[in-house]
Amino acid sequence: MSIELYWGSGSTPAWRVLLALSAKNLPFTSHLLSFSKRETRTPEFLAINPRGKVPTLKDGDLVINESLAILAYLDSAYPAVPLLGRTAAETGEIWRLVMEYESHGSPTFGAVARPISFGTLAQDETKVREALPALIAELDLLAARVANGPLVGGTLSAADLVWFCGVQTLVRAATRPAAAPLDLGVWPLGARWPAIVRWAGLIEALPGYDATMPPHWLEGDVPSPARVE
């Protein structure tokens, strides 16, 4: 086994894979690519990922692109700590929740977080306000689902990792100075959704969690909290 991961700071799909490698306690060689230096567009990287996107995982000669495919591969190749279920019923539940994130969580969180994070609030503020009720409904649903801990089967799974990365990108946006005048009413999350903060703490307690945090979130001009609050 010789796992290598190509990833980028702040990429939610890449973060899922970093968390999965931590949860599974799998050592790997890290290749942190810079988006601003266009390191995802070099001929060397395009040779292994023609779409120029991270994450990309190599395991020996095998190359896998797409974060969910990488999670599926890791679970099949390294099943000691399963993240996609211990039974068929759990596997179905976990995939349902992962796909719910892709279909519902991601666009809903993104409708609020992206204009803040990408500096387009001036033109998109109305759209952000219109997106808020759906965001609050998603957070209410998530809080109910994690009231007793992990989403499926009492143990952390890919569903938790996928939703967690989405929540973190939302927290990152909500705590940026640009978001302050909006008075989104979603920060701190713990005021309204303490169950989400408790559940996030389970993922944040994974060994090596700190090393999975997007480096520029911690060091940059607008530092983010390392933990969901």
Ligand X SMILES: N[C@@H](CCC(=O)N[C@@H](CS)C(=O)NCC(=O)O)C(=O)O
Return residues touching ligand X (CB under 6 A).
Answer: 8, 11-13, 35, 40, 52-55, 66-68
Return all residues near 105 (Cβ < 8 A) that are at least 6 apart: 138, 142, 163, 166
Residue among 14 and 196 whose Cβ is closer to ligand X: 14
CA-wise closest residue to 18 among 144, 165, 128: 165
Residue 221 dihedral angles phi and psi, to the nearest 5°: -65, -25
**DSSP characters over 29-58:** EEEEE-TTTTGGGSHHHHHH-TT--S-EEE
Residue among 17 and 196 whose Cβ is closer to ligand X: 17
Least distance between ligand X and beta carbon 126 (Å)? 26
Least distance between ligand X and beta carbon 12 (Å)? 6
Q: How far is CA 191 from the centre of its chain?
A: 22
Least distance between ligand X and beta carbon 11 (Å)? 4
Residue among 66 and 125 whose Cβ is closer to ligand X: 66
Least distance between ligand X and beta carbon 42 (Å)? 11
Q: Which helix (H) or strand (E) holds 6?
A: strand 3-8
Residue 50: how many CA atoms within 13 Å on its side-chain side?
A: 0
Residue among 114 and 145 whose Cβ is closer to ligand X: 114
Q: How far apart are CA 85 and CA 88, in angstroms?
A: 7
Least distance between ligand X and beta carbon 143 (Å)? 25
Residue among 53 and 198 whose Cβ is closer to ligand X: 53
